[in-house]
Every structure is written in C-alpha cells, then in structure tokens.
Structure 1
Amino acid sequence: MPFALLKAGLLGRFRPPSRELPATPDLKPHYDVVIIGAGGHGLAAAYNLARYWGVRSIAVLDRGYIGGGNTARNTAIVRANYLTPEGVGFYKESMQLFETLSQELDFNVMYTRKPHLTLAHTDASIRTMRWRAEVNTHLGVRSELVFRDEIAAIEPRLHLGDDVRYPVLGALYHPVGGTARHDAVAWGYAMRAAELGVEIHQLTEVTGLDVAGGSVRRVHTNRGSIECGQVLQAVAGASSEVARMAGLKLAIRTVPLQACVSQPLKPFLNAIIVSGSLHCYIWQSQRGELVMGGAVDPYPLWSTRSTLDFKEGLMAHILELFPFLSEVRVMRQWAGMADMTPDFAPIMGKTHLDNYYIDAGWGTWGFKATPVCGKRMAECIATNRQPDILAAFHHDRFLRFEQVGEAGAASVGS
C-alpha cells in the first residue's frame, strides 16, 4: 500500500484528487475557433493555437469523449518510411516532435523507439523497398534494404524459411520507428490546452453548419448554437458526413479497420513487423501483449464491429511469420473507422470556404501524424495560409489530377 494513502487513512486527512480537466462548461455564444473533434489531431491543434499563436477563445466539440474515436482504436505505431517526398518529409517532422512530446506536454506519452521491418515477399516488393529506402535516405530518414541474414540478426524469431506460401526475401529496415501510448497523447494535449483556456465540450454533437457569403457563420450542436470565427474539422470516420454539412464533397471511402491483442507473453519481439503482401503487422507492447492488425475491410461501413473473418485471415498470416504462436490466445478485438482517399494520402488545410479548414482522409496512418498535424493545422488557421508542408495534401488535388500516390507505403491499407 502506498505510504501516502496509509497516512491519509490513519490521520483522516484524505483529500480527493484534483480534476485533470475542468468540468464541461456551458457553451458561449461565440468562439474565435471551433474545432470539431476531440481526438488527438483536434486537441493538438487547439494546444498549438493556444500556446504558440495566442488564440485562447477556442471550443473543442466532440459527440463522444476525449480520444474516444480512432485515437483510441489505433495500434500506436510511429514511423516515417513512406514512399513519396511529401509523405516522408511530413512524417519526419512528426517523428521529431514525438521524440520530445513528453517534455513538451509534461506528460509521459510512453514514446519508445522500436525498429520497423516492412517485409518483401516478391521481386516487385524488393524493388519498392529499394525505392523507399532511397527516397528516405535522400530526405534524411534512416531506412535501408536488408536481406535474410540481416533480418535474422534483427529479429531472430521471425520464420525465414521457404516452407511457406510467401517466403520472406528481404525487408525495408527503419531503425528509428517507434510506438506511443495513444490515450496518453490525447490526454496530454487536452490537459495542457485546458490550462491555456481552451474549452473542451464532450458529449456535444455538431448537428449542422450555417454557411453564408463563402464562410461558416454558425455551428449548431445538441447543446445550442455557436457563432464562430474559424472552424476546423478533425473527425476521423465521420469526415464525409461533417464536410457535407459545409457543402464539401470529399474523395473519401469510409471502411472499418480491425485490430486485436493477445494474452501477455514474455518479451521476445524486438521490432515492429509489417507485411504489405500478407496485409498484417505485429509488435509487442510493454505489457507483453502482441498487438496485431490487418487490411481494411473491403466494403464501406460505419460500424466498429469485430468479425471472425478478420481474425481467421490475420492469424493464418501471422502464423506464417511466427509459427510457434499457434496456441496463443487473442484477448481483445476491435475496429476503427478508416477514411481512405484514392491516393492513400490525407486531405489537409484550407478549403474553398474562407474560414473552414479540414484534417481528414487518414486511412491507416493518422495517429503517427498527431504532433505535426496539430502544429501545422494551427499554423494554417492562425495565418489563413496553406503551409508548404501541407501544400500537396490540398482538398481539391483530385480535381487537378495531382495525387500524392502513397499506396505503396500504406502496407495494410489497400
């Protein structure tokens, strides 16, 4: 028993702990910035606006609770080994911000370095991994193409024989990958934003937007209406529906993305293992659980349900990589909502409305972008200018046929 608790009980001086966040206040008639979505991206943008741009009249609205959407339903992997220069540069900055995020927020987000291995099972995959390694290296991100002997040294328990359907031929080795605690990231941003005067309104669903004169004038919610100066939409899974309220049609298809964890095991897995050909990935958490996931479901659906089909298919592929896990039990299974764009890259920044900004289309790679999205979307809102790092992700690029083409590095997204 903690000594402080024993002392409080014996001396009768027990005091309930102070609230980490203030109670949800009443809505004010007007806010300078309204952020729709209290997940990692929305809270990070609120924090950056308040701290670095001096904007304090901010309301963050969420129909659920803090970090209760895709922020709570991802598998916490951080990496920057993408394919396009736009994607690599974007995630390089995000990884740099993750490195110091615990210090920035004075809150332990449990960021941990873990090497990342993206397996290649065909000659075509080997060519793609070499391509990615060259782009990464050119932009200052550590990645290299490795083959079986080097893979065996990095991850000795990975099965590298030829007696499987898809033998491993090589891999893209990304030694600076990592993981972070997803709910800690959301709560860290929320607490520091609240200290700076940001209001966080949970259980507050946006029901409509009034658009007039090329801008959003009012946000309607189940708790009342708000006049607004600027509006940011950051609602993974509901991006198309919320954008439609503002008269925007997004190139997004929303599909479930499932994952699961095993019973805790003695630590044996050093790296994050990903196979784009098998559409699966696996890494081991600090508690010993194996965190596993696969490809998105093949049909649009707004439902976070789990399926037997996913589990059976995923386990077959995982056992090709680690046959000795055949008796390990799956303890929990869940799904999130993935907003997939045609080029597997996000939609970010300004829209054709003067005061409406969007952060959407993350598919399978949203959590790892949390710090850079918060920083750059805050810059976009404060300056009303599309930052250079976000220029390629403009929402109308599909009309101009200027796709980013990140499908080759999404791994389990297609």
Structure 2
Amino acid sequence: MIAGTARLPDHPERLWPNPEPKRSYDVVIVGAGGHGLATAYHLAKEQGVRDVAVLEKGWLAGGNMARNTTIIRSNYLWDESARIYEHALELWEGLEEDLGYPILFSQRGVLNLAHSLQDVREGVRRVNANRLNGVDAEWLDPAGVKEVCPIIDVSADVRHPVLGATFQPRAGIAKHDYVAWGYARAAAATGVDLIQDCEVTGFLRDGDRITGVRTARGDIAAGRVGLAAAGHTSVLADTLGLRLPLQSHPLQALVSELLEPVHPTVVMSNAVHVYVSQAHKGELVLGAGIDSYNGYGQRGSFHVIERQMAAALELFPVFAGAHVLRTWAGVVDVSPDASPILGRTPFTGLYVNCGWGTGGFKATPAVGRCFAHTIAHDEPHPLNAPFGLERFFTGALVDEHGAAAVAH
C-alpha cells in the first residue's frame, strides 16, 4: 500500500504553545528538529526531567527534519549500528500509538540494489550480518526484485544490470512533518518549552563547566546543555575551542508532480547513486549523494540533480515523462567513520548528538531515548556507548561507509 487512510492532524499552530523563554532551565536542548524534540519528550516521559527548553533558531523542524527523504530502515552492517537502528525501528512501529498522533508510517520495505559481483558479495554479507543481529533481511535475485517492484528494469543488457538486492520488509517511510508535530505536541504537554526564533550564539561557562547558553533573546542558564543542531553543532562547539571531527555538506533531493500509485517500495542504488520512493500523496521522492564541497547553504549543485534524474531513469524508464516539481537541500554532518557522535564532551554539562550524516531521520526515536538517558544520567545509554567522541582517540571506530555510500 502506498497511500493509507489516516486522520488528518490538526493545524500545527494548535498543537503547542509558543512561550517566552525563561531565564533558566534544568536542561536546554539546542535544535528543534526530530532529534531535539524526541530528546525533550523522553527526558520528560522516561527521565522525569520536565524543566526543559528546546531552542530553535528558525521555526520548529525547519532544518533537516523538513528536508530529508524519510527513509526508515535498520539493515546496517556492524553490530553497534544495527542495534541502535533496530531499536529505532521497533520504536517506529509503536510511535503513532505512543505519541497519540498520526505519522503515516508505511512499512513498504527497502531494496538495496546490487549491480556488480562486489555488490552481490557485500549484499549477501550484510544480509547474514543482519540476521545474526535479529534484523529482518533477505537476498533477492533479479526475479525477486521484479516481484517486489514490478516497474524496475531488470534487463541484462543495460549499463547497470540489476544482479539482485537486499530487502528489508519492515523498512519504509513516514511523514516527517507529522513526526515532528507529534513529538512537539507530546513534549509540550509535559511542560517542555519549545522556543522558536531563538538562535544560540555561544555558551555560558564556569571554567570547564557549561552553565547555560547565549541566545539572540538573551542568556539562558541551564544545568545541562544538549546540542542537536546537525551540521551546525560543530559551529557551536567551535566557540568553545572544541573541534568536532565533522564535515558538513549539502544533500539534495527532489519531488515530482503527483502520480498514480505505481511505486510500491523504496529502491536504493549505490552504483547509479539514487534512491526513490513514492510519497503518500503520489509524488516521487528522489534523493542523491552529497555534494562534494563543504557548506551550510540549503542548496546544491545542478549537476548532482542532473545525474540523480539520469540515474532514476536507468532504473525506472517508466518515469521518463514525469516532471520535477521542486528541489531542495539539507545540511548533513559526516564523521570520519560515517557513524554518529552521541555522548559527553570534555566540558561538564555539555553533550553532543551529531554526525548522523544522511541517516538521522530513521534513528529519531532511538536517539531521543538514548540522548535523554545520557543527559539525565551523565553517562551513555548502552546503545550509544560505542558512538562516543572518545572513539576517535582510542581508534574503536564503527566504520559504516558501506551503508553511507549512497545517501540514506
């Protein structure tokens, strides 16, 4: 099913108040995207910390949360990654009931295509690793790929023939705006303040202890501060002389005009570098690889879009007559091992959640739970313990470049 029936949500302006910031909070979260909102929700719900503010320089969920392609999956290679993403997927499966709000979570499955013998070897390896970690995964031959997605071209005489694919049936997509609004509504109901138009420009500190934040609306004291500002987390950390091992890049995507339901799953390909799904309303959603240059502009290079559309037509000739409706870009923060950084910093009372690259949306529920635990207890949750900043000193990296070869 591509389009499901669900109660339409109320207008977002009615879902949470817009309070003035107080002068102090127990916890301040910087960034009101999915991760920041989910963290505040779990701080209140599970950790009993309700004196919380989430600060956003623009409008709530107006950054990467509104600029991603909403793919949700957990079929990562390494144990550490598979565990946190699988926990996220389990939470996704009950999130609508938990929040009491529709998120249009559609478990239509995700295909990762193989176009070479090396792709096949890597795909089979990942399927076996996934199964060992309790993640649903299958290896499909070309006929099986065609059965799951009838409109894909599996001809043998094309430039990039489909030799097979990994398939995760429980994977899928959700409506990103509804996810953000659901978390915001639930967090605000517990007493969390959601403060928009409140850019954080620096920190208050007492030696190596962070005591609050400086904002465009005045200083705000805080017992603890969590950074969840994606690519701009490193910019804020730089004001403390804390250099995070991150590079930020634009990541582009586009949508087509509305079409009849024809694309029943999510298809990803590293070789032709595109991933395609069909949204609930009917538009095709296409993602590309990251632009190679570093930057914070929410735009990208035309040649990336051009190659992205060419790649889509390699796989789906049926879309040759579709028209592009709009394009956009987010800002992704990429770490050296293509895995997130989630944990404490050398500054007492300061915690970071960053480095998710192109995989942040799918991790949202697990990030909220793990980051809330880390902030509340000043120690990592077992699921995010492998992703601490210290791994770049010890060398215990979690190298997921295979999973990040195409934006995901």
TM-score range relative to shorter protein: over 0.9
Aligned mate of 1:236, from 230, 240, 244? 230
User: Do the aligned partners of 2:251 and 2:300 also contact (CA within 8 Å) in 1?
Assistant: no
| Residue of structure 2 in register with 1:267 after alignment | 261
Residue-pair matches, total: 399
User: Do the aligned partners of 2:287 and 2:407 also contact (CA within 8 Å) in 1?
Assistant: no
Measured in 1, the distance between the counterparts of 2:57 and 2:322 equals: 37
- Indicate whether 1:222 and 2:216 are aligned: yes
Measured in 2, the distance between the counterparts of 1:19 and 1:268 equals: 34
Deviation at 1:301, TM superposition (A): 1.2
User: Do the aligned partners of 2:291 and 2:301 also contact (CA within 8 Å) in 1?
Assistant: no
User: Do the aligned partners of 1:349 and 1:357 also contact (CA within 8 Å) in 2?
Assistant: yes
Aligned mate of 2:112, from 115, 118, 123? 118
- Indicate whether 1:39 and 2:28 are aligned: no
Tell me the alpha carbon deviations over residues 318-357 of structure 1, each in whole angstroms, 9 at most, x when there is no partner. 1110112111101011000010111110000111222111
| Residue of structure 1 in register with 2:393 after alignment | 399
- Indicate whether 1:372 and 2:366 are aligned: yes
Tell me the alpha carbon deviations over residues 235-286 of structure 1, each in whole angstroms, 9 at most, x when there is no partner. 0121210111233211111000000011111111111000011111001111
Deviation at 1:20, TM superposition (A): 2.3
Aligned-residue CA RMSD (Å): 1.6
TM-score (ref. length: structure 2): 0.95
Measured in 2, the distance between the counterparts of 1:172 and 1:158 equals: 15
Deviation at 1:211, TM superposition (A): 2.7
Deviation at 1:32, TM superposition (A): 0.4
Measured in 2, the distance between the counterparts of 1:413 and 1:25 equals: 37
| Residue of structure 2 in register with 1:53 after alignment | 47
Deviation at 1:72, TM superposition (A): 0.2
Distance 1:57 1:100, change over 3 A: same
Measured in 2, the distance between the counterparts of 1:200 and 1:17 equals: 17
- Indicate whether 1:135 and 2:129 are aligned: yes
Larger Rg: 1
Measured in 2, the distance between the counterparts of 1:22 and 1:112 equals: 26
Percent identity over paired residues: 41
23-32 vs 371-380, which deviates more?
23-32
Distance 1:347 1:17, change over 3 A: closer
- Indicate whether 1:76 and 2:70 are aligned: yes
User: Do the aligned partners of 2:204 and 2:221 also contact (CA within 8 Å) in 1?
Assistant: no
Distance 1:188 1:22, change over 3 A: closer
| Residue of structure 1 in register with 2:98 after alignment | 104
User: Do the aligned partners of 1:274 and 1:411 also contact (CA within 8 Å) in 2?
Assistant: no
23-32 vs 393-402, which deviates more?
23-32
Measured in 2, the distance between the counterparts of 1:309 and 1:106 equals: 42
User: Do the aligned partners of 2:231 and 2:332 also contact (CA within 8 Å) in 1?
Assistant: yes
Equivalent residue letter for 2:257: Q
Q: Which runs of 5+ in 2 are unaligned?
A: 1-9
Measured in 1, the distance between the counterparts of 2:384 and 2:80 equals: 8
- Indicate whether 1:201 and 2:195 are aligned: yes
Measured in 1, the distance between the counterparts of 2:401 and 2:118 equals: 14
Moved over 3 A (4+): 16-19
Equivalent residue letter for 2:205: V
Tell me the alpha carbon deviations over residues 143-196 of structure 1, each in whole angstroms, 9 at most, x when there is no partner. 122111211111121101122221111111111111111111111111111111
Equivalent residue letter for 2:69: T
Question: Equivalent residues in 2 for 1:268-287 (5 A)?
Answer: 268-287=262-281
Tell me the alpha carbon deviations over residues 195-216 of structure 1, each in whole angstroms, 9 at most, x when there is no partner. 1111111000111112323210
Equivalent residue letter for 2:92: F
Measured in 1, the distance between the counterparts of 2:85 and 2:116 equals: 26
Measured in 1, the distance between the counterparts of 2:257 and 2:89 equals: 29
User: Do the aligned partners of 2:248 and 2:294 also contact (CA within 8 Å) in 1?
Assistant: yes
> What SS class does the counterpart of residue 389 from structure 1 fall into?
coil
- Indicate whether 1:338 and 2:332 are aligned: yes
Equivalent residue letter for 1:354: T
Measured in 2, the distance between the counterparts of 1:178 and 1:17 equals: 25
Equivalent residue letter for 1:311: I
| Residue of structure 1 in register with 2:7 after alignment | none
Equivalent residue letter for 1:229: G
> What SS class does the counterpart of residue 286 from structure 2 fall into?
strand
Deviation at 1:26, TM superposition (A): 2.6
User: Do the aligned partners of 1:81 and 1:143 also contact (CA within 8 Å) in 2?
Assistant: yes
| Residue of structure 2 in register with 1:210 after alignment | 204
Measured in 2, the distance between the counterparts of 1:220 and 1:77 equals: 35
Measured in 1, the distance between the counterparts of 2:206 and 2:319 equals: 59
> What SS class does the counterpart of residue 402 from structure 2 fall into?
helix
Equivalent residue letter for 2:260: K
Deviation at 1:17, TM superposition (A): 8.7
User: Do the aligned partners of 1:344 and 1:362 also contact (CA within 8 Å) in 2?
Assistant: yes
